Chains A and B, each alone.
Chain A
């Protein structure tokens, strides 16, 4: 009961706060901007054709009414929440009557697949390699590895992806640049192998950056951890090094890493968006890129909202699972 009150409820409250702030900000941004999005959309739609002025005026009014932009800010805000509650994000302007939710839903599995794989791989690899490098910090390989990571860590995802494209796609031609798979979706090895083949480079570009991030944190946590008494005692007692690292040091450094994962999910998500754009991977990052080009303002809005809610929910899930890992929270 205590756990519920002191741990779970504040987290859920925090989730509501994140979603509320996120949705309010996305509501305010287009309305506070000096440029009216409806005029932008109409200008784009009528750019290469002549139109009856009367028809244009009607079109402008209906579009304004469609978005409720003729009402007061507060009325618009209430309306906006009502539409969100029923999951209505409006139609896409790029492919007109198709609703935004449908477009996002088609692309979403790709992004979720990419995110899950890269998050799991990079987190595990980062924590393990970081603990090893922190423990054996005198060994040559650990120092070389750390130097490499220090060089990779600050480089933006976009640049990492570009370098990978230049080397492995353009120069060596090992991997393709377009799409997510070939053939019909089925649980056959043929299809799955194309999934891996097409997803390898996009995933790798996220994994490199995210692992470097995790590695640096794991190494500094390990450096603190190995100075503690129990590690020295274990070493004096000649406990095998493998056991010290995996069962004692890594386990203790994992807890702050779990908390940090919840905070850094947004970063990994952003990395995935960029990667999808560069590798034309069919996830929501690529949908977003096309939406930017077509001025498909509804789709951009929808993806922004979805990413805020999605990242907040994932962070909440990690936070709620945390007591399973940390008995101190569970038994408080």
Chain B
């Protein structure tokens, strides 16, 4: 595991860059514990509508919040929502995908048609419907659960596909014929293949949840009193910040959102490159010691097929 991460750092610029950004996000989360304000009572603490200055690094909002410190809480809350959503969504997805993939048969056929249907159904209108009914009672935690409950169909399909292909590989047959028990095969032989795939999938779960959180909060469907990236944008918009020239109120959460998704995505690009066997070959040749001027694998792949 550590060797994998070291490799990723060494050979994948996008992984390196992505983890740097996420480190910045992590710093924000840690800073939220050192905030001079109480997370429940952020409003009416400082002078309203102050532009960024040495006293208030990112300015203050129309509700008398210090944008910088509110943002630390917002990043933390948005991440909390995403973590809950990812754990629930992937929990259902992995379980269903594994059952479907390993057992097959009628159960597999039925779940597959249901899952194919669920994938087609647009989720945002459903979430808006639920949010509109539960308005006010949707806390950070229940929002996370809700997003998780709607984000398992596509992952489970992909896990199933992975398992189906693993089941047909030679080493699985070898293990079966040499008398290895099914559970042992799953844990010892298949899990090492599934885990890196799962990492990339978890990241896409984060991207989805962050996007949905921002959207639902912007529409006023989440709990608007707890600071998240989405509610910061909601309140910025509520006080018409763009049109009265207080853009700093909006720019801070927008930049935070972009950095968060970008950090996660770049890491998953790095992982994807790691998972791609062709790119792995390039990396292996680089390890053997052949002169490779740059570590961008795209550049030296050229020789593979040029005449």
Contacts and interface: CB of A to CB of B under 8 A. Distances in A.
B125 A304 contact: yes
Interface residues of B, number: 54
A312 B121 contact: yes
Interface of B: 14, 113-114, 116-126, 128-135, 137, 207, 210-211, 214-215, 218-221, 233, 242-243, 247, 250-251, 254, 257-258, 261-262, 264-266, 269, 278, 298-299, 302, 304-305, 307
A292 B258 contact: no
A37 B258 contact: no
A151 B211 contact: no
A311 interface: yes
Nearest to B129: A304
A226 B305 contact: yes
19 contacts: A17-B113, A18-B121, A21-B114, A26-B129, A30-B129, A35-B137, A156-B214, A156-B261, A157-B215, A159-B254, A162-B233, A166-B251, A265-B120, A269-B122, A277-B219, A292-B131, A292-B220, A307-B125, A312-B121
A14 B110 CA distance: 11
Nearest to B133: A33
B247 A159 contact: no
A274 B215 CA distance: 8
Contacts of B233: 158, 162
Contact of A21 (B121, B135, B302): B121
A288 B128 contact: yes
A17 B114 contact: yes
Contacts of B119: 263, 266
Interface of A: 14, 17-18, 21-22, 25-26, 29-30, 33-35, 37, 40, 137-138, 143, 150-151, 153-159, 162-163, 165-166, 170, 226-227, 232, 235-236, 262-263, 265-267, 269-270, 273-274, 277, 288-289, 291-293, 295, 297, 300-301, 303-304, 307-308, 311-312, 315
B125 A303 contact: yes
Contact of A292 (B219, B243, B305): B219
B interface, by DSSP: helix, strand, loop or mixed?
helix
Nearest to B258: A155
Contact of A312 (B14, B120, B132, B265): B120
Contacts of B265: 150, 153-154
A21 B114 CA distance: 8
Given A26-B126, A30-B133, A17 B258 contact: no
Residue among A235, A262, A266 with most chain B CB within 10 A:
A266
A274 to B, nearest CB: 6
Contacts of A293: 220
Contacts of A266: 119-123
Contact of B122 (A35, A156, A159, A308): A308
B121 A158 contact: no
A264 to B, nearest CB: 10
B237 to A, nearest CB: 9
B17 to A, nearest CB: 10
Given A150-B269, A156-B211, A156-B257, A18 B129 contact: no
B96 to A, nearest CB: 15
Given A17-B117, A37-B133, A170-B242, 13 more contacts: A18-B117, A22-B117, A22-B121, A40-B133, A138-B302, A153-B265, A156-B215, A166-B251, A266-B122, A270-B122, A288-B128, A292-B132, A303-B125
Contacts of B123: 266, 270
B100 to A, nearest CB: 17
A94 to B, nearest CB: 13
A22 B126 CA distance: 9
Given A166-B250, A288-B128, A158 B215 contact: yes
B129 A301 contact: yes
Residue among A25, A158, A265, A292 with most chain B CB within 10 A:
A158
Given A138-B302, A156-B214, A166-B250, A21 B117 contact: yes
Contacts of B114: 17, 21
A137 B302 CA distance: 9
Nearest to A30: B133
B122 A311 contact: yes
Contacts of A35: 133-134, 137
Contact of B125 (A151, A170, A265, A273): A273
A40 B129 CA distance: 14
Contacts of B242: 165-166, 170
Contact of A157 (B132, B211, B258): B211
B298 A137 contact: yes
A26 B113 CA distance: 19
A300 B121 contact: no
B250 A273 contact: no
A14 B121 contact: no
Residue among B122, B125, B307 with most chain A CB within 10 A:
B125
Contacts of B118: 21
